[in-house]
Structure 1
């Protein structure tokens, strides 16, 4: 048995446990917990049974199982990058709104102090 067949399932189980505790504490949504759990379960399956990746590869018309895993990982990384970009963009908009509100609020209060 290869070392990755032992190491990856252990790491995946630890990751699932960590995500479960993050979900339980309210830091992670149910859908995110579900998606990450599925990803880590596939890591466990592919590391214990490497030939099982061929089944998924054939379904998607890919010739080798490792190619399927690499393509899936790249697609997942692009998805996470786009999702992160949109969250960062929304956060930037929120910060700009707050800064504008604080600036307007301070301008009004400064004018009131100058009149007294």
Structure 2
């Protein structure tokens, strides 16, 4: 058995447990935990059974299993970047709204200064 066949399942278990703890602490949604758990289970299966990726690749019309894994990882990364971009965009809007509200509440007129 190759070294990555042992290391990736261990990393997968740690990652799934970490996401479960984040869910229990209400820092992660259940959908996110489920999606990441599915991802890490697939990673473990591909590490333990390398030929398993070939079956998935043929299912999606891709010739090699490694190509399928690379496309899968790329899709997960793009999804993660998209989610982060949306979160940052929402935070920027929230900060702008908050700054406007604080500025209006703390407005000082020239008459009050004299």
Is the TM value for this pair above 0.5? yes
Alpha-carbon offset, residue 113 of structure 1: 8.3
Alpha-carbon deviation of 1:115? 7.1
State the alpha-carbon separation in 2 of the partners of residues 115 and 2 from structure 1.
76
Aligned-partner SS, 2:14: helix
Report the Cα distance in structure 1 between the residues aligned to 2:44 and 2:18, rounded to whole angstroms.
16
Residue 112 of structure 2 is matched in structure 1 by: 114
* Distance in 1 between residues matched to 2:79 and 2:59, nearest whole Å: 21
Which residue in the other structure is 2:10 paired with? 10
Aligned to 2:65: 65
- The Cα offsets for residues 50-74 of structure 1, whole Å up to 9 and x where unpaired, read as 1000111001100000000001111
RMSD over aligned CA atoms reads: 1.6
Following the alignment from structure 1 to structure 2, what is the Cα–Cα distance between the partners of residues 11 and 5? 11
TM-score (norm 2): 0.94
Runs of 4+ in 1 over 4 A off after TM superposition: none
- CA shift, 1:25, in A, is 1.1
Unaligned runs of 5+ in 1: none
Q: Which runs of 5+ in 2 are unaligned?
A: none
Report how many aligned residue pairs link the two structures: 114
- Cα separation, 1, equivalents of 2:21 and 2:94: 29
TM-score (norm. length: structure 1)? 0.92
Distance 1:37 1:113, change over 3 A: farther
In the TM superposition, what is the alpha-carbon distance from 1:80 to its structure 2 partner? 1.2
Residue in 2 that maps onto 1:88: 88
